[in-house]
Structure 1
Amino acid sequence: FLMHEKGTRQKSTFFQRFITNLLFLLQLLALGALAFATTLPIISMTYDSTGEHTVIVLDVSNSMNTEVSAGQTRLDKAKNIAENNLKGQVSIILAETVPLLVLEDESTSQAKSVLAQLTPKHTSTNIGDAMILAGDLLSAKGDNNKASGRILVISDFVWTDGADPEVMKQVLEARGMVVDFVNIGKAKENVGFVDFKIDTTETTVFLKNYGREKTVSLLLKNEMEGQKTITRTLLEEGIEPITFPTMGGITRLELKDDDALTDDNAVYLSNPKKTKIRILMMTNKPNKFMVNALTALGDTEVTVAEPPIVPDIDSGSEEGEGFDIIIYSEVDHKKILPGTMKEIKQAVEQGTPFIVTFQESLNQIDFDGLLAISPDIVHEGAGVKTVIQNQFTKDVDFGTTEKYYKAKADNTSLVLAVANDEQESPIVAIKQFKDGKIVYYGMDDLKSSFKNSPGYPIFWNGLKNFLIGVDDITNFNHRGGTVLTFEMDKHIETPYGVVQGKRVVLDTNGIYLIDGKQHTVNTWNEKESNTLAEAAVNEAKKGDTYRAEEVLREREVSLEMILLIIASVIIAAELLYTKFRGDF
């Protein structure tokens, strides 16, 4: 009994010393943690894989402005769904023609603020490319490119550009991402302007009916010509062309009645050039081929003057605005009055273009510098080839000419077409003369095949527009979503305010002022106006019932770092304890 009691007392003393010797205990725990860490322990944990990041891909294209109920559009509904399903850090991508990242890794409150300010754009839809951008964002947030988060795509899925959204969904899900499609489309009847054709004489706008047969009234307004009403009966699912003369300035065509989608009910068209181009042709042998070519499009008025009687160069018309171009063709130089060439030279110096055409007496006339070549002798017959292509020589075959001048171009002249002779005599040449331009046209029209070719009126109308600085009229009328870039910063007036920069996205319908000229932007998209279209995806969830559910997954978590941290804390505690005990 005494021996047993003594053994029990010794065991109790050992455990009491073990427990009360804190320094030893700390050392034991630190060594244990370090030893366990060397085994690289791993445990599996269940987590919500969508809780850390939400990337909203939001369709803001033209069709999203379709009314779904009184006072609520598809976009309004989409924004409500997005606001109610935000988790973690939020990014927002707008699925416009070119996807736009408007928010990256911000709080839910900041995301709601951005969503509240969004409005529909008058562009096409590029959901697929927006999803690619969303996938790249999520990949960058995960470990070893393993995404953690949800891509929430909210749209009516009337996609018109870019990759197929369903294909992109499969690609992203194969990379481990959670992708939800939420469809907020609802079929509505609509009538809208879907396409156009415009040139300097005639404009055609195409109106499509998405619904039952109906009669509609349209109002055509022009700032210079006034307004008139047009009535059309539209067949079910039919397209009706509306054709009218192209008018100068801004023209607006609008439906008088509203429907589910109002953004395609009115369009603007711009023709910034003058309604009529005024040309003075000085000649004693009128060239009817040239006159007909210049007036073929109906945008030019040619005044033929036979020297010595020439109208006042500065006035040119009853309006007193002067001539836009002066042509010197087959003139009897002996009948030119002394002051006429002086007036022409002054007009050219101030910016009026001057065209000199072939005539056999050309080398006998003193043009006082108003000639782009130095004529030598008249030569018989040659083919003509284009050496520089521009807006008035491209796609033009000059053919042959029976007579032309062997000549040399002025050092400051640009030669665009030459004869096929040994010295390549200039046939078409242009030269800058102070603020004006001088053109030499060396074809003998009466004895050449060019006047009867399709390229003849193309050449003269292209040259005319080039000389007075008129671009192709289609360059002033754009489709929504077009991106314009410039070499230098520009001050641009847009429907939503003034912008400054080298790039502007035309994503809002209306009038833009660029370099003093009016440009128009309209949606012009048959698919975006189709409010009856079914969603082009199969797995979309209904917007009315959608809720962002948790997606639980397991992931392996390494305990190595945790154990190292614990060991470090224990060692620090040990040092503090020894210092407190007075060991050092």
Structure 2
Amino acid sequence: MAPFENPFALLALLSIIPLIILYLLKPKPRTIKVPSLMFLMRVHKEKKRFYSSFTRFIRDPLFWVQLFILIFLSLAAANPYFTTDEPLSQEHTVLIIDSSASMQTDNRFDDAVSLAGDHISRTNTIILASNIPSVQTSRASAADARRVLGQIEPHDTVADLSSAINSGLRDVSQYGGRIIVISDFANWDGEDPVVTKNLVESYGIEVEFINVGQRSDNVGFINGWIDTAADGYTYTGVIKNYNNYQATLTISIFSGNTDTASQTTQITVPARQTRQLAISNLSPGVTRVEIENQDSLMVDNIAYISIPGSAEQNVLLVSDKERLPSRTAISLIPNIRLSASESVPSNIGNYDIVVLANKDRPLSSSEIGILDNFVKNGGSAIFIASDAIGQDAVSTDLLRLLPVRIEETVQAPSGVSVDKTVSSRLTDDIKFNEIGVYEYIKTSPRSGATVLAQTRDQIPMYAHHPVGEGNVAYVGFNDQIENSPWNNFHNLPEYPVFWSKLIRWMGGTGSIDDYNVKTGTTLSLKDRQTIHTPYGVIEDNRIQVEKAGIYEIGNRKIAANLYSEPESDTTSDGSDVMDRLTDERTEPGLVRDMTFTVRNYLDNYLVALVLLLLTLEIYIIKRRGEL
């Protein structure tokens, strides 16, 4: 018996009862002949009247037509179905294409796209393997998949092949199919793709590796850094020669957007070795260093350098205490002019950032009003947790400014651990897990706030959000050192770094490292902004740096470079990975079912039968002359 998805609809079968009653009360008219012995037969007819009334409509075909119409409609409303076990389709293919920088060597990426086109099936999912896997299309038709293949381009990053395979696994686990990975297998981030392949295959899923590319020669920048010197900034670039012969390189240096080199020099790099190139006294702006020699991979032939202007920032620290670790840390930041005050002055328009570090005295309503106007007009404010902004002291007006909702103060004598929730230039190189928190304010994030660090119980300890044209940050680490400190953050070597990053970011500037990043970095902004990238203009509050070049955000110019020795090694052709495929095996784990259960619904067939019966009913009525 088939199950029903809506069994209560079977109550509609009760409609058969009124149909039977209707036929009992409405006898069918008949033409009869009256014999002369009618009165003698009357008694005998009376006995049969009941039986004839009951059997009359049983022999009526119209009754049966209408009866089955009611039955079939009731069953269709109950939605009956039966189940079958169907094989998982092999017509679905997940195509994973390596889009790392090394795939730009010679024609590797074009070959990968061509091979992907040869493996297109009825439905297709295309994933670009980059530092973060990117699903280009999911369960697309063959025509749509070919259109997507014609639009994709390689990135200037290192690919995480294992993450891409795991991303494809989620799709195949639901719909069935196979996974095909096309790569040069020269380098990767994350887990070993061979181990991931064997693990996925232990679930009964087919994974195929296709290797592209051949060994090739290359020379390029594999590292670079900027040091502060007495005469300004000095750039040091490391160039490696991957060739089996000595290379004499022509190096051109360009300043700004000009195509005319301001300086040209030559450098000789022995086979399979490195040489350093130093450029001193760099002026503010963008400098481009190019290796003029042509080779198989050009993305590492250019080093981009960005030197920010030395704009000085004015910071006001408002506190009812003189000795504060935050005050010391901020005063050590270069190009920062720090002022201190016991209250918020009536005019703070000349300051870029105001740090609120009161420990006991709550801010007055007039001070809050001044801060509110300051932030909404483009200023930045930083609130440090203390009793002065605790649940018993905080006002409603102040709550509107903070990125968190203030609750009670919590004592934790045994200490509470803190973890960062977002990896960005504000949190990188800060070991939040080494901070011991013994007292803190229980908070919850407001809508639109970005939480950068929180306790294991998900209590925000470091957060920010935009307010008007400005920005407000909350630092949950009270820096009071008198009596019982709330935490040990001020004793850690990362504490000055923490304040340098925060002050630079809140003021719209940053350290020299914030202006020079590696591809694959995520840039977090205070609010949604227009960003000019090497591949076009976008508008967002976060950007994934996927291409080498210059990223313009407002008046800031950020240089991005590949700087990856394994990715620049074009002499690696992935043959070692392909050789390991037959050698490495993982122990079989869970065996994935090769079938899945499908519900086959019968309601459409029942409705079709009803339509046929209605046609038959009309025909019977018309044949009787009743229509």
**Equivalent position of 1:520 in the other structure:** 559
Residue 325 of structure 2: aligned partner: 386
Aligned to 2:114: 80
Q: Tell me the equivalent position of 1:152.
A: 180
TM-score (norm 2): 0.52
Contact 1:194 1:529 in 2 (8 A): yes
Distance in 2 of aligned mates of 1:226 and 1:468 = 34
Distance in 1, Cα, partners of 2:81 & 2:559 = 70
**Aligned-pair CA distance for 1:566:** 6.5
Q: Does 1:267 align with 2:303?
A: yes
Shift of 1:247: 0.5
Following TM superposition, by how much is the alpha carbon of 1:580 offset from its aligned partner in structure 2, in angstroms?
Answer: 3.6
For 2:183 and 2:154, how far apart are their aligned partners in 1? 12
Give the CA deviation at 1:195.
0.8
- 1:346-389 Cα offsets, whole Å, 9 max, x none, are xxxxx8x69xxxxxxxxxxxxxxx99999xxxxxxxx9773446
What residue is the counterpart of 1:342 in the other structure?
none
Instruction: Note if contact 2:317-2:356 (Cα within 8 Å) is conserved in structure 1.
Output: no
Name the % identity. Answer: 27
Q: 1:371 to 1:121 in 2, by over 3 A?
A: closer
Q: Secondary structure at the match of 2:262?
A: strand
| Distance verdict in 2 for CA 1:128–1:557, change over 3 Å | closer
User: Structure 2 matches for 1:186-197, cutoff 5 A?
Assistant: 186-197=214-225
1:220 to partner: Cα distance:
3.5
Given that 2:252 and 2:292 are in contact with CA atoms closer than 8 Å, whether structure 1 keeps it comes out as no
Quote the offset at 1:177 in angstroms.
2.1
Match 1:123 to one of 149, 153, 157: 157
* Match for residue 126 of structure 2 among 61, 81, 92: 92
After the TM superposition, which residues 274-289 of structure 1 pair with which residues of structure 2 at under 5 Å, given as runs?
274=310
In structure 2, the CA distance between the partners of 1:177 and 1:392, relative to structure 1 (3 Å rule), is farther
Runs of 5+ consecutive residues of structure 1 not aligned to the other structure: 1-22, 68-72, 143-147, 275-323, 326-350, 355-369, 375-382, 395-407, 418-431, 437-454, 542-552
User: SS state of the match for residue 289, structure 2?
Assistant: strand
Match of 1:110 in 2: 144
Taking structure 1 as reference, are residues 410 and 494 closer, same or farther at Cα in structure 2, changes over 3 Å only? same
The reply to whether residue 137 of structure 1 matches residue 171 of structure 2 is: yes
After superposition, the Cα gap between the structure-2 partners of 1:155 and 1:468, relative to the gap in structure 1 and judged at 3 Å, is: closer
Contact 1:216 1:255 (8 Å CA) reproduced: no
Which of 484, 495, 501 is the equivalent residue of 2:540? 501
1:164 paired with 2:192, answer yes
Q: Deviations over 1:93-115 (max 9, x none)?
A: 11111111121222211111111
> Shift of the alpha carbon at 1:74?
0.4
Q: Distance in 2 between matches of 1:150 and 1:243?
A: 50
Q: Within 5 A, what are the aligned runs for 1:57-456? A: 57-67=96-106, 73-140=107-174, 142=175, 148-200=176-228, 201-223=233-255, 227-248=262-283, 249-274=285-310, 386-388=325-327, 390=329, 392-393=331-332, 409-412=341-344
- Say if 2:86 is the partner of 1:50: no
**Pair 237,480 (structure 1): closer, same or farther in 2 beyond 3 Å:** same
The structure whose RCO (Cα within 8 Å, separation 6+) is larger is 1
> Please, what is the CA RMSD of the aligned residues?
4.7
5+ residue gaps in structure 2? 1-63, 334-339, 346-353, 358-373, 380-492, 582-592
Give, as a single letter, the amino acid of the residue that structure 2 aligns with 1:203. Y
Distance 1:178 1:519 in 2: 43
Q: Tell me the number of residue pairs that the alignment of Structure 1 and Structure 2 aligns.
A: 383
Secondary structure at 1:120 match in 2? coil
- C-alpha contact 2:241 2:247 (8 A) present in aligned 1: no
- Match of 1:528, SS state, is helix
Instruction: Name the CA distance, whole Å, in 1 between partners of 2:595 and 2:378.
Output: 75
**What secondary structure does 2:578 align onto?**
coil
Secondary structure of residue in 1 paired with 2:153: coil
Encode CA deviations 1:80-129: one digit per residue, 9 max, x unaligned: 01111111222211111111112122221111111112222111111111
Distance, in Å, in 2 between the alignment partners of 1:39 and 1:160 is 49
Deviation digits for residues 386-413 of structure 1 (CA, Å, limit 9, x no counterpart): 344645548xxxxxxxxxxxxx954249
Deviations 1:22-74 (A, max 9, x none): x99xx9xx99xx9xxx99796x88x68421x221111111000000xxxxx10
| TM-score normalised by structure 1 residue count | 0.56
Q: How far apart are the structure 1 equivalents of 2:170 and 2:317?
A: 62
